Amino acid sequence: MPKPIVYFARHGQTAWNAERRLQGQLDVPLNELGRTQSSRCAGILRDLLARDGHDFGTLDYVSSPLGRARETMELIRGGLGLAPTGYRTDPRLMEMSFGRWEGYTLEELKLREPESLAARELDRLGYVVPGGESYRQLAARVRQWYDEIGRVTVVAAHGGVCRALMDELGAMPNTSGSTGEIGQGVIYVFNETGLARYE
C-alpha cells in the first residue's frame, strides 16, 4: 500500500538564516521575510490541497517543536482558515543538532575549529558534531517518523529534515550529508511517484 502524501514546508527565514549561521536546535524566531514566506506557503498549499481533493480539516498537521517551525505551521493553518494551534509536534522533526557549532557561521568555525571541520569533511554522513549528532542520526529519526504516518500529512520543519526525507525516500540520494539548498516559501510534495516542488 502506498504511503500517504506528505506536504512539507521548511520554516520561513530567520535572522540567523540571513547571516548563514548554524541554528540547529537553538530556538531562533522568524523574521519579517520568514513570516511572509510562511504565509506564501499557505497559499501554495491551499491550491495544492484543493487540486488534490483534500478536505483541509481532515489532514494531519505536525511540526517540529522549535518555535520557527511552529510559527510557520500556525501561519499556514491560519491561511487555510483553520485554528492556528490545531496541530501536534514531534521531536523527531527537529533540525539536526550542531552541538557547540550552533550560532556560528562556517567561516567562523574555520578559524575556531579547523580540525573538527576537517574531520567532518572526511565523513559527512557519519561524523558526530561535537555535542551534537551526525547526519545519519538525523536521517534515522526522520525515517522512524515517516514510517509511522498513516494519513495525508502537512509538515512544518527544517532544511536538514527535508534533505533527510528526500534521501530516505530516494528522491535525492545524499552522499555528502545535509547539503544542498532547501527553499523557504515553497512546498515540497512527497508521494509514491517521487518529489515535486511548488513555489
Look-up: residue for cell 559527512? Answer: 124
Residues 117 and 60: their CA atoms lie apart, in Å, by 39
Q: How far is 176 from 101, CA to CA, in rounded Å?
A: 19
For residue 89, which of 27, 131, 47 has the smallest C-alpha distance? 27
Q: Is 11 annotated as catalytic? A: yes
Rounded (5°) CA angle 132-135-141: 90
At residue 7, the 3 state secondary structure works out as: strand
Ramachandran angles phi, psi of 155, nearest 5°:
-120, 140
Distance CA 145, CA 91 (A): 9
- Decide if 54 is catalytic: no
> Which three three-digit cell numbers place residue 86?
490545531
Q: Which residues in 17-171 belong to E strands, given as ranges?
A: 60-63, 88-89, 153-157
* Nearest residue to 77 (alpha-carbon basis) of 66, 93, 88: 88
Q: Which of 71, 95, 102, 168 is catalytic?
A: 95
Catalytic residue among 11, 71, 102, 168: 11
- Residues that are catalytic: 11, 95
